[in-house]
Chain A
Amino acid sequence: MTTAGYTIMQTVRPDRSTRFDVDEVRRDFPILREKVYGKPLVYLDNAATSQKPQLVIETLQKYYSLENANIHRGIHFLSERATQAYEDARAKVRGFLNAAESREIIFVRGTTEGINLVAQSYGRKFIGEEDEIILSAMEHHSNIVPWQILCEQVGARLRIIPMNDDGELLIDEYERLLSDRTKLVAVTHLSNALGTINPIKQIIQIAHRGGVPVLVDGAQAVPHLKVDVRDLDCDFYAFSGHKLYGPTGVGVLYGKATLLDAMPPYQGGGDMIRSVTFEKTLYNVLPYKFEAGTPNIAGGIGLGAAIDYLSQVGLDLVTEYERELLDYATEAVSTITGVQIIGTAREKAGILSFVLEGVHAHDIGTILDQEGIAIRTGHHCAMPVMQRFGVPATARASLAFYNTREEVDALVGAIHKVKRMFSR
């Protein structure tokens, strides 16, 4: 297609969804052809951020080349075109999560902002002194600190669902924590440090018995698992675009319309108002009430493209392929003498966290990096998880559907190199 002298390459291949071919999908990600220190890039840091397919890159370029304008404001051609593209993206997100209505999809900067929004808007209105918020022991700091800030503001308390040595939440303990003081449950769908898939549906059902709403941190789950917010019956679901093969700086907060309607605005500014005088301001309807200021328009549209791409590849096929790859990686890495896998839950996806006897995770990271292998080392913004397992840090390989068995073999080879280096 050529528009205004600008060529858009089509990366859409409509016959995709019946089979999965890793070599084919790898060709969609230009960065995977890069070399690091002269070696092929082995990118195993997908839980930190994922790489971007050509379709997303082209969409961003197309937006800035052909469509850039502010949205919901101008009556001119470009503004309407940009508004349409942005709202189309919102509709794609609605479909992706199977939300009932597009107005339940709030664009935010990322999961972190989505959680902060709920803490500061829902939390400050509906949670008070002596009330309790239940979190789990495997939360990312972004699903801990916003609640601690809220607790300081309103005098509420945190209660923590413990986990077993495999990194599975203790549901019996969770049921015991629930009381008439409980005003909210906030848990991760998939642990970024352990890879555990939590029984979110069950956790929600239990909370709803007492009429307690549940926020789900879906940052790690959405790239790997089909999420249906109506089937889960969750009250809030937050995720980030950049972990879903989309751009950075954009994310989504899903909320049930009844809850969002009852909540005060999170930030004040343009676009979130219906009318303003110095005496009184009337707020806009959902979702705009929560979208003050010019949003990340290109980011939202890019996220829509990422969702298109993922549906072309087929999320079910992705889940299946990644499951096999994680099993292969777990088997291969755990056979290395001295390696201990941290996070051995029965239900896992995408993440292989490990420690190596006598070698700190940072030293592993540096040596792997020299082999072109990108992993994350450290506490993964989940210090309580590290304390629970009695380790200062772990090395974490996190998978995406474009990773291969050969890359896992390269990881295993590099871990052996670490061992050789440290046993001199």
Chain B
Amino acid sequence: MTGLSELYQEVILDHNNSPRNFREIDGATQIAEGYNPLCGDRVVVYLQLDNDVIGDISFQGSGCAISKASASIMTVSLKGQTSTQAEDLFQRFHSMVTGAANRGIDPQALGKLAVFSGVREFPARVKCANLAWHALHAALDGNRETVSTEEAGSDATLADVQG
């Protein structure tokens, strides 16, 4: 596959067109907003934690295909996981899209999230993929402030500096 078709895989386009768990959760135990000031994209992540297990998870917001599909697939991947498992998956996802991990990263270990492996070829788009995950991380931390991709750090790439 070429870079572009690897980035915009059918699974990603499908989640962009029909995002899963795209709703609010009434009485969510955790809510956090992720914001990318470079492009203005916003995503709000809602969590229902029952004894540290993610009973329900959803999101709302606007963004590009990468950020929307990432949020959608994130919610699908995390239902039923503990908060520790969720954080662990975020770390592995983050390593994959930033290219920090060995390129031979085991796609099995990431499940559906492996469709985002093409992102690492597009440094300008890493933040799009990570936006919902940063919000999730903030929600698990009980942080109700909006988390910015600029403050969240570690996504830093040369493409970050825009007007």
Contact = CB atoms under 8 A, between A and B. Distances in A.
B39 interface: yes
A367 B8 CA distance: 10
Interface string B6-47: 011010010001000000000000000000001111000000
Interface stretch (A82-90, A143-151, A205-213, A375-383): A375-383
A393 B76 CA distance: 27
A1 interface: no
B162 to A, nearest CB: 7
Contacts of B63: 360, 392
Contact of A392 (B8, B10, B62, B162): B62
B163 A363 contact: no
A377 B36 CA distance: 14
For chain A, which range describes its interface: under 10, 10 to 19, 20 to 34, or 35 or more residues? 20 to 34
Contacts of A380: 163
Contacts of B62: 392
A386 interface: yes
Given A363-B65, A363-B66, A379 B8 contact: no
A381 B68 CA distance: 23
A328 B124 CA distance: 31
Interface residues of B, number: 24
Nearest to A358: B17
B65 to A, nearest CB: 5
B64 interface: yes
Nearest to A37: B3
B162 A421 contact: no
Q: Output the residue of B3, B65, B68, B124 with the most chain A CB within 10 A.
A: B65
A378 B38 contact: yes
Nearest to B38: A378
Given A360-B65, A366-B122, A380-B163, A393 B39 contact: yes
A378 B162 contact: yes
Interface string A43-59: 00000100000000000
Contacts of A422: 8, 13, 65
A77 B34 CA distance: 58
Interface string B55-90: 000000011111010000000000000000000000
B116 to A, nearest CB: 14
A424 interface: yes
Contacts of B128: 362
Contacts of B101: none
A336 B59 CA distance: 32
A389 to B, nearest CB: 13
Interface in A387-403: 392-393
A392 B40 contact: yes
Q: Output the residue of B40, B41, B122, B124 with the most chain A CB within 10 A.
A: B40
A31 interface: no
Nearest to B3: A370
Contact of B10 (A360, A367, A370, A424): A424
Interface string A340-354: 000000000000000
Given A421-B4, A424-B10, A366 B125 contact: yes
A363 B40 contact: no
A285 interface: no
Given A380-B163, A381-B163, A424-B13, A366 B7 contact: yes
Contacts of A282: none
Nearest to B122: A366
Contacts of A383: 40
Contacts of A359: 65
20 contacts: A358-B17, A361-B64, A362-B64, A363-B66, A366-B4, A366-B7, A367-B4, A367-B8, A370-B3, A378-B38, A378-B40, A378-B162, A380-B163, A381-B163, A386-B40, A392-B41, A392-B63, A393-B39, A421-B4, A424-B10
Interface of A: 48, 141, 358-363, 366-367, 370, 377-381, 383, 386, 392-393, 421-422, 424
Given A362-B39, A367-B4, A393-B41, 9 more contacts: A141-B163, A360-B68, A361-B64, A366-B122, A367-B8, A378-B40, A379-B40, A421-B5, A424-B13
